[in-house]
Structure 1
Amino acid sequence: MRTWGPLTAVCLGTFMLLLDVTIVVVALPDMAGSLHASLGDLQWVVDGYALALAALLLGAGAAADLLGRRRVHVVGVVVFAVASLLCGLAPGPGTLVAARAVQGVGAAAMLATTLPLLGSVYQGRQRSVALGVWGAVSGGAAAVGPVLGGLLAEGPGWRWIFFVNLPVSVAAVWLTLRAVPESKGPRGMRVDWLGTLAFAGFAGGTTYGVVRAGEDGWAAAAPLVSFGLAALALLLFVVVEHRVTHPLLDPSLMRRPAFVGVMAGALAFNGVAFGVLAYTSIWMQTLLGMSPVHGGLALLPLTGAAVVVAVLGGKLLHGVPARLTVGGGLLLVGAGSFGQAVLGAGSTWTALVPGLVLVGVGTGLVSPALAGAALAAVPAERAGMAGGAVNTFRQLGYALGVAVCGTVLTSRLGETLPHEAAHTLAGGGAAALRDTFGEQALRSAFASGLNTAYAVLGATGVAAAVLVFVLVRPDRTARIAVTKSSPVTLMEEETASRG
């Protein structure tokens, strides 16, 4: 218990919170049918969780340093569990979206405290082993998510995607209280609550504006007002961060080209790699007639390649600058997205396999390298802040990617279908449209919409890769490359920066 207890407790929480990022993807068509949810509702089922996680991650880490990391972690697990129960019992899409956002609040508290808790328990070689196991669990959660989601949706029903979190949460709380010691940050720390609220307003306003643009058009009042409020929130965040003693994100870091390049790569990465998967799943199930399980298995070329490359990369890419692995990986992710833009009315899921594999290989290179690249771009005393910023930008990028892909898809569908029919088709309602438009027309329209979304993501991935190559200098990333020990370096620097 003394050796494995803390690691097991933390890994249980990590597995749950990362699993819930991807597990809902293949269940979205069933949710739409059961709850009579619109496309906008489905987008927020995904984005509500990712946005809350992104917006509160840095603030949760600061609060944990002040209040106690174990305490905040346990509270996060409890909040996550209660929200999971509410998700499973949701009578309608509004309740489900709200509960998903609460889930994201709990997940932020859990993720923000994971590395500090492990760092307070394990030292030396034990820390290397613990963080290696933690990294494997993190990668496994992403790979298992779509398949497990498909099995549950096709078996007992989509609500069990959330109910399965309950016994795992109980075990995680019990183990954490029994095996993990309490730890805090240095005295005198303060939580930047105003900065947290301002950043949440910026992230939420931007994402809401993109979603509404897909429904009403970019020039409509709702998205324009939302973008305006988001801009004001961002301005407030910048002002606050310049004035507070303990900022969430030190403004001086944004004057470092290498740090800006890494954050741009992190923002683009999750959106480009995973933002379109929800709509790909809807296409597979509602137009190709695939089951949720088959739909989940069809995504294995991506997740499987990512896990294999991440594991092998730790051995084969030792000493390679993170600039090359992050930039090169983003190029592969972008190329893989372009490679999926080949669909036609008669295409099956197998047309996506080459592109999915490329995206998976790129993901396996980028994901473990981002933290090391962020650390190399900042002073040692800002290591914890840099690590938190990477996770924040990744989750924000995912939320924006889902929103942008939905808007691009519906805009493209609207060129061949009436507005309402386009939104119905994108939201999984193909069955209700077949008698009116015909199978061939619907499949052709959806394929065209997906192709456009893939192309937009491909261009974004390539642009982000260029930024990384230009801004992240070789000498800044040489000291922390992609190795299996890079999470250990992250934890050592973060522990030192927080005392």
Structure 2
Amino acid sequence: MTKPSRISNSTSSEQRKFVILLTTSLVCSLIMLDANIVAVSLPTIARSLGASFTDIEWVVSAYVLPFAALLLAAGSYADRHGRKRTMLVGLAIFAFASGLCGLTHSALMLNLARALQGIGASLLLTAALAVINHAYVGQARAKAYAFWGACIGIAITSGPIIGGAITGFLGWRWTFLVNLPLCAVLFVTSVVIVEESRDHEAKNLDIAGILTLSSGLFLLIWALIDGNSVGWGNSAIIWRFVTATGLFIAFVVVEVRQTRPMVDLALFAQPTFLGSAFAMLGYAGGAQVMIFYLPMYLQNAYGFAPAKAGLAMIPFALPMFLTPRLGGRLAKSYSGRALLTFGLMTTVLGNLLLYGFAHVGMSYPVFLVGMLVAGVGAGLLNSETAKVMQGAVPAQRAGMASGLASTTRFVGLLLGVAGLGAVLARVVSRQFISAGVTLGLEPKFAARAAKQVASGDLTGVMTDVPARLQAQVHAAGWAAFSGGFAAASLVAAAVATLTGLLTYILVRSVDTAPVADDDLQRTLVVVME
């Protein structure tokens, strides 16, 4: 008579865990969505608040800067004080800051509120990933991360589309205010369904480690954000890099003396963990980074309006939704090492196709083939990188693991945006100035116009060009931007190639081997600790 009861309890447990997975995946999706949903609203925000270009740039940067800098500190806090508690605190801060963003009447207050949003997001992301890592083990964890990756893929790629729709129908303030009911639902669900978990060996927060690492990351990310616009040789940028390096060295010194460090540096001596870190960098800097540059190319190369460019991203977005689910099935038969390497090599192929099609100026129906292949690689890596990296860290330190994974991802993404942006800008400037001078433009005007072309504002250049030259200058601008995008795609392919080789060499198949269902049953007890 006990067997039906056991089956019922097992079913109830699985249902509860799925609700936990759904809740945490939506929490992470909300964070990713908010990171880029405002991108299409920036011109409207500028007009509404009378803000300068620099002010508006910081609407995005003010969110990313504290978010990326505090991820590891947030992971340490979650391990010490509880993952559920941390997620609830993060939701409260995020909701409060979203309300401030939607009600503000100045660019300064908007950017301060966005920074507060970033702090809440850092708590949310690390806690949510740690909850998933605690609730699932073995093959079930692979499926869980596949579902999580699909949700993240949708959020990342649909941000500009949703942002454009909300701004057009409701106004830019609702791109922030829409978070309030969503946070309320997620808060209540988390209170009811998520079980508390923590690292019972953690006694105190590593304050010295938090201060040195977070400050170093803050200065590094600040330098990366401003480098392309201010100039990499600018004294302020150099000062930030130098100071960040000194803080990172101080962090290492502090951590090796700690009995319970915020980051276990011994992990980097483990080949599988180190290889998974390179895979995460390759995913962020070689695959995810294309989300920022593809919409610009679609608008400049094919003349698509922002809304149409968002829809034209579907060949890249759809695989990011579907491929993680395929990855969950492949994980039953293939090691994490094989899947990571395959994902990075698929990314290489996709980026090479984008390079070739942009270089020769192929039509959109042909170009979308490259987007499709690149999306498959990005979708597979999106969940697999997090799964392998989390799996290489002891379960009791899931908060630290999620902090490391998230920090690696966002630092890699910022490095990719800065690096590819520098390549794109240099190639566009060189090609457009040369073509413009040949057409009869003044060299100084051509240099100024080249910056607009590189930023994606090809239409804005035409306003100051004589009518007799507009068609030729427009063609030169299109060719220059296509050349810059092609060069950036080639560099992204090189990044994916290098990190793919390092991943294949370092990650061990035995450490990331597929877990059979009977092995999973024997390890379920870990979930109940």
Give the alignment's TM-score, normalised by structure 2: 0.80
Task: Identify unmatched segments of 5+ residues in structure 1.
Answer: none
Indicate whether 1:398 and 2:413 are aligned: yes
Q: Which amino acid aligns with 2:218?
A: G
Indicate whether 1:474 and 2:509 are aligned: yes
Q: Which amino acid aligns with 2:337?
A: R
Specify the alignment match of 1:446 in structure 2: 481
Residues 128, 276 of structure 1: alpha-carbon distance in 2 compared, 3 angstrom cutoff: closer
* 1:11-22 pair list within 5 angstroms: 11-22=25-36
- Give 1:320 deviation, angstroms: 0.8
Give the Cα–Cα distance (whole angstroms) in 1 for the partners of residues 398 and 135 of structure 2. Answer: 19
Give the Cα–Cα distance (whole angstroms) in 2 for the partners of residues 91 and 426 of structure 1. Answer: 31
Give the Cα–Cα distance (whole angstroms) in 1 for the partners of residues 137 and 481 of structure 2. Answer: 53
Residues 230, 216 of structure 1: alpha-carbon distance in 2 compared, 3 angstrom cutoff: same
Give the Cα–Cα distance (whole angstroms) in 1 for the partners of residues 44 and 261 of structure 2. Answer: 43
Give the Cα–Cα distance (whole angstroms) in 2 for the partners of residues 108 and 171 of structure 1. Answer: 19
Residues 273, 121 of structure 1: alpha-carbon distance in 2 compared, 3 angstrom cutoff: closer
- Give 1:44 deviation, angstroms: 4.6
Preserved contact between residue 94 and residue 116 of structure 2 (Cα < 8 Å): yes
Equivalent in 374, 380, 383 of residue 365 of structure 1: 380
Give the Cα–Cα distance (whole angstroms) in 2 for the partners of residues 491 and 49 of structure 1. Answer: 38
- Give 1:253 deviation, angstroms: 1.2
Q: Which amino acid aligns with 1:389?
A: L
Preserved contact between residue 214 and residue 411 of structure 1 (Cα < 8 Å): no
Give the Cα–Cα distance (whole angstroms) in 2 for the partners of residues 127 and 265 of structure 1. Answer: 19
Equivalent in 462, 470, 486 of residue 434 of structure 1: 462
Specify the alignment match of 2:113 in structure 1: 99
Preserved contact between residue 329 and residue 365 of structure 1 (Cα < 8 Å): yes
Q: Which amino acid aligns with 1:369?
A: E
Specify the alignment match of 1:248 in structure 2: 262
Residues 355, 25 of structure 1: alpha-carbon distance in 2 compared, 3 angstrom cutoff: farther
Residues 136, 435 of structure 1: alpha-carbon distance in 2 compared, 3 angstrom cutoff: closer
- Give 1:256 deviation, angstroms: 2.0
Preserved contact between residue 29 and residue 282 of structure 1 (Cα < 8 Å): no
Preserved contact between residue 38 and residue 424 of structure 1 (Cα < 8 Å): no
Cα deviation, 1:68-101, whole Å, max 9, x if unaligned, reads: 4333222211211222233334556555444333
Residues 387, 294 of structure 1: alpha-carbon distance in 2 compared, 3 angstrom cutoff: same
Give the Cα–Cα distance (whole angstroms) in 2 for the partners of residues 331 and 131 of structure 1. Answer: 21
Give the Cα–Cα distance (whole angstroms) in 2 for the partners of residues 258 and 126 of structure 1. Answer: 20
Give the Cα–Cα distance (whole angstroms) in 2 for the partners of residues 54 and 214 of structure 1. Answer: 19
State which drifts further: 126-135 or 227-236.
Answer: 126-135
Preserved contact between residue 272 and residue 507 of structure 2 (Cα < 8 Å): yes
Specify the alignment match of 2:84 in structure 1: 70
Indicate whether 1:356 and 2:371 are aligned: yes
SS in 1 for 2:186: helix
Rg larger in structure? 2
Give the Cα–Cα distance (whole angstroms) in 2 for the partners of residues 364 and 316 of structure 1. Answer: 13
Give the Cα–Cα distance (whole angstroms) in 1 for the partners of residues 154 and 77 of structure 2. Answer: 29
Cα deviation, 1:380-404, whole Å, max 9, x if unaligned, reads: 6656533432222112212222222
Cα deviation, 1:167-215, whole Å, max 9, x if unaligned, reads: 1112222333344455544165222233223223333323333343322
Specify the alignment match of 1:324 in structure 2: 338
* 1:281-292 pair list within 5 angstroms: 281-285=295-299, 288-292=302-306
State which drifts further: 383-392 or 245-254.
Answer: 383-392
Indicate whether 1:80 and 2:115 are aligned: no
SS in 2 for 1:362: helix
Indicate whether 1:174 and 2:172 are aligned: no
Give the Cα–Cα distance (whole angstroms) in 1 for the partners of residues 498 and 523 of structure 2. Answer: 27
Cα deviation, 1:135-172, whole Å, max 9, x if unaligned, reads: 55344433533432332244334443222111111222
Give the Cα–Cα distance (whole angstroms) in 1 for the partners of residues 91 and 183 of structure 2. Answer: 6
Specify the alignment match of 2:437 in structure 1: none
Q: Which amino acid aligns with 2:269?
A: R
Give the alignment's TM-score, normalised by structure 1: 0.84
Q: Which amino acid aligns with 2:179?
A: N
Q: Which amino acid aligns with 2:462?
A: R
Q: Which amino acid aligns with 1:19?
A: L
Preserved contact between residue 138 and residue 523 of structure 2 (Cα < 8 Å): no
What RMSD in Å do the two structures reach over aligned CA positions? 3.8
Preserved contact between residue 142 and residue 387 of structure 2 (Cα < 8 Å): no
- Give 1:239 deviation, angstroms: 1.4
Task: Identify unmatched segments of 5+ residues in structure 2.
Answer: 1-11, 434-445
- Give 1:263 deviation, angstroms: 0.5
Equivalent in 59, 69, 94 of residue 55 of structure 1: 69
Cα deviation, 1:91-140, whole Å, max 9, x if unaligned, reads: 56555444333222111111222245467789999999977765553444
Give the Cα–Cα distance (whole angstroms) in 2 for the partners of residues 229 and 422 of structure 1. Answer: 33
Specify the alignment match of 2:208 in structure 1: 194
- Give 1:424 deviation, angstroms: 3.3
SS in 1 for 2:204: coil
Specify the alignment match of 2:440 in structure 1: none
Give the Cα–Cα distance (whole angstroms) in 1 for the partners of residues 279 and 155 of structure 2. Answer: 22
Equivalent in 343, 348, 358 of residue 343 of structure 1: 358
State which drifts further: 37-46 or 404-413.
Answer: 37-46
Indicate whether 1:151 and 2:143 are aligned: no
* Count of aligned residue pairs for this structure pair: 493
- Give 1:258 deviation, angstroms: 2.4
* 1:102-141 pair list within 5 angstroms: 102-117=116-131, 134=148, 136-141=150-155
Residues 122, 370 of structure 1: alpha-carbon distance in 2 compared, 3 angstrom cutoff: closer
Specify the alignment match of 1:206 in structure 2: 220
Preserved contact between residue 268 and residue 274 of structure 2 (Cα < 8 Å): yes
Give the Cα–Cα distance (whole angstroms) in 1 for the partners of residues 358 and 142 of structure 2. Answer: 44
SS in 1 for 2:464: helix
Specify the alignment match of 1:298 in structure 2: 312
Indicate whether 1:422 and 2:450 are aligned: yes
Cα deviation, 1:307-329, whole Å, max 9, x if unaligned, reads: 22211232244221111111221
State which drifts further: 253-262 or 373-382.
Answer: 373-382
Cα deviation, 1:338-376, whole Å, max 9, x if unaligned, reads: 221232696654453122111111123222222343255
Q: Which amino acid aligns with 2:32?
A: L
The alignment-based identity, stated in percent, is 33
Specify the alignment match of 2:9 in structure 1: none
